[in-house]
Amino acid sequence: MDRKAIPIIAASGIEYPANEEPDFKAQIKQVFGKQIRRIGPFIQMALIGAADSVRAAPLPEATNVYFTSGSGDMDVTIDVLHRTVRDRQIPKPLSFVNTVSNAACFYLTKYFSIGGSTSFVSTREFALESAFFQAMTDMSVLDVETALVGSVDILTTPDTTHRTRVGSAPAEELAQGSHWFRLARSDTSATPIGYLVDTSIFKDAGSLIDHLKPLLSANCFITFGNRADSSNSQKMINELGAQEYQAQKQPAGHYGTNCGQIFRDYLHREDTSASQLLYVQQNEQGHLSAVLLAKD
Partner 1 sequence: MAELDKDTLMAELKEMIVEECDTEVEADEIANDIRLVGEGLELDSLDALQISLAIKDKYGVRIEGGPDSREAMANVSSLADFIIKAKQAS
Q: Which is nearer to partner 1, 39 or 51 (CB)?
A: 39
Shortest Cβ distance from residue 109 to partner 1 (Å)?
18
Shortest Cβ distance from residue 117 to partner 1 (Å)?
24
**Site for partner 1 contains 26 (CB under 8 A):** no
With CB under 8 A as the rule, give the number of residues binding partner 1. Answer: 11
Q: Which is nearer to partner 1, 3 or 34 (CB)?
A: 34
**Site for partner 1 contains 38 (CB under 8 A):** yes
Looking at residue 246, its amino acid is: Q
Q: Which is nearer to partner 1, 34 or 86 (CB)?
A: 34
Selected from 3, 21, 33, 37, the binder of partner 1 by CB under 8 A is 37
Shortest Cβ distance from residue 107 to partner 1 (Å)?
13
Shortest Cβ distance from residue 5 to partner 1 (Å)?
43
Q: Which is nearer to partner 1, 25 or 269 (CB)?
A: 25
What HEC string does the chain produce?
CCCCCEEEEEEEEEEEECCCCCCHHHHHHHHHCCCCCCCCHHHHHHHHHHHHHHCCCCCCCCCEEEEECCCCCHHHHHHHHHHHHHCCCCCCHHHHHHHCCCHHHHHHHHHCCCCCCEEECCCCCCHHHHHHHHHHHHHHHCCCCEEEEEEEECCCCCHHHHHHHHCCCCCCCEEEEEEEEEEECCCCCCCCCEEEEEEEEECCHHHHHHHHHHHCCCCEEEEECCCCCHHHHHHHHHHHCCEECCCCCCCCCECCCCHHHHHHHHHHCHHHCCCEEEEEEECCCCCEEEEEEECC
What CA–CA distance (Å, rounded) separates 78 from 74? 6
Shortest Cβ distance from residue 113 to partner 1 (Å)?
21
Binding mask 80-119 for partner 1 (x = CB under 8 A): ---------xx-xxx--x----------------------
Residue 220: name the closest of 290, 288, 286, 282 by CA.
290
**Site for partner 1 contains 1 (CB under 8 A):** no
Q: Which is nearer to partner 1, 38 or 213 (CB)?
A: 38
Residues in region 55-74 near partner 1 by CB under 8 A: none
Shortest Cβ distance from residue 75 to partner 1 (Å)?
14
Shortest Cβ distance from residue 34 to partner 1 (Å)?
8
Give residues in contact with partner 1 (CB under 8 A). Answer: 34-35, 37-39, 89-90, 92-94, 97
